[in-house]
C-alpha cells in the first residue's frame, strides 16, 4: 500500500509519537479498535516505523498532503506539554488553519457529567473526572486521574496533569498548566500561561505567565514573553 492510500484510509492522525501519544493510542484501541491511525513525528529516525501498531508516516510537513488527500481529516495532538503548553497550542492552531478537524479522545474510565461542556480536541484520559457545570475548552488535556470539580472553567490549550485536583468554581486560563498532584482551592483563578508546580497547594489566585510551587504555593519565577 502506498503512503497516499494509507492516508486516505486513516481515521485519525496523531501529531507526536512519544509517551503521551502512546496513552492516546491505548485509549483509541479501547474505544475505536477498528480505527486506522497515522502518526506524524518530527524525529526522522521514527519514519516508517510503528508505535503500538500505528504507522509513523513522516513529519508535520505532511499536513498539506493530508488535507489534499483527505479533506477535514480528524487529528489530535500527541505532545505532552511538559509544563509549557505553547508547542501543543501552536501545532493545534496550525492543523486547524490548514483545514484539519480536531478529534476528541475520551478513555472509557473517564467520568464526565452529562451537564459538563467539553470542547473539540480535548483529551480525557484514564480515571479523569469532570463534574456537573464544568466547562472545558478546546485542545485541553485532562490527564490520568485528574479531577475537575463542578462549575470549573478550563480554557483552551490548558493542561491539568495527572492526579491534579481543581476544587469547585476554579478558572484555569488559556495555556495554563497545573502540575501532577497539585490541588487548587475553590473559586480561584489560574490566569493564562501560568504554571503550577507538581504537588503544589494553591490557596490564592495565580498571575498570568508566572510559575508557582510549594505548599502553600508561592511565586517561583515569571515567564514574561512566553504567552
CA 168 to chain CA mean position, Å: 21
Question: For residues 170 and 190, what is the distance between their CA atoms, to the nearest angstrom?
Answer: 8
- Cell numbers 509519537 correspond to 17
Question: For residues 17 and 80, what is the distance between their CA atoms, to the nearest angstrom?
Answer: 10
- Catalytic annotation present for 226: no
Question: For residues 8 and 82, what is the distance between their CA atoms, to the nearest angstrom?
Answer: 32
Find, among 149, 146, 105, the residue nearest to 127 by Cα: 146
Other CB atoms within a 10 A radius of the CB of residue 187 amount to 13
Indicate which residue of 20, 107, 150, 177 is catalytic.
Answer: 150
Cell representation of residue 128? 479523569
Residues recognised as catalytic: 150
Amino acid at each position: 500500500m502506498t503512503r497516499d492510500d494509507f492516508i486516505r484510509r486513516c481515521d485519525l492522525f496523531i501529531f507526536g509519537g512519544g509517551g503521551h501519544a502512546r496513552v492516546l493510542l491505548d485509549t483509541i484501541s479501547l474505544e475505536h479498535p477498528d480505527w486506522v491511525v497515522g502518526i506524524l513525528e518530527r524525529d526522522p529516525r521514527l519514519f516508517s516505523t510503528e508505535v503500538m501498531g500505528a504507522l509513523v508516516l513522516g513529519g508535520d510537513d505532511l499536513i498539506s498532503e493530508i488535507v489534499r488527500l483527505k479533506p477535514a481529516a480528524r487529528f489530535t495532538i500527541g505532545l505532552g506539554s511538559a509544563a509549557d503548553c505553547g508547542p501543543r497550542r501552536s501545532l493545534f492552531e496550525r492543523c486547524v488553519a490548514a483545514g484539519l478537524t480536531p478529534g476528541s479522545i475520551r478513555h472509557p474510565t473517564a467520568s464526565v457529567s452529562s451537564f459538563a461542556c467539553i470542547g473539540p480536541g480535548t483529551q480525557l484520559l484514564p480515571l479523569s473526572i469532570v463534574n456537573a457545570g464544568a466547562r472545558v475548552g478546546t485542545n485541553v488535556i485532562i490527564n490520568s486521574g485528574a479531577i475537575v470539580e463542578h462549575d470549573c472553567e478550563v480554557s483552551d490549550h490548558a493542561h491539568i496533569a495527572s492526579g491534579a485536583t481543581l476544587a469547585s468554581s476554579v478558572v484555569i486560563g488559556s495555556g495554563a498548566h497545573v502540575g501532577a498532584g497539585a490541588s487548587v482551592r475553590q473559586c480561584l483563578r489560574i490566569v493564562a500561561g501560568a504554571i503550577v508546580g507538581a504537588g503544589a497547594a494553591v490557596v490564592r489566585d495565580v498571575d498570568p505567565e508566572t510559575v508557582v510551587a510549594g505548599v502553600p504555593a508561592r511565586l517561583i519565577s515569571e515567564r514574561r514573553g512566553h504567552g
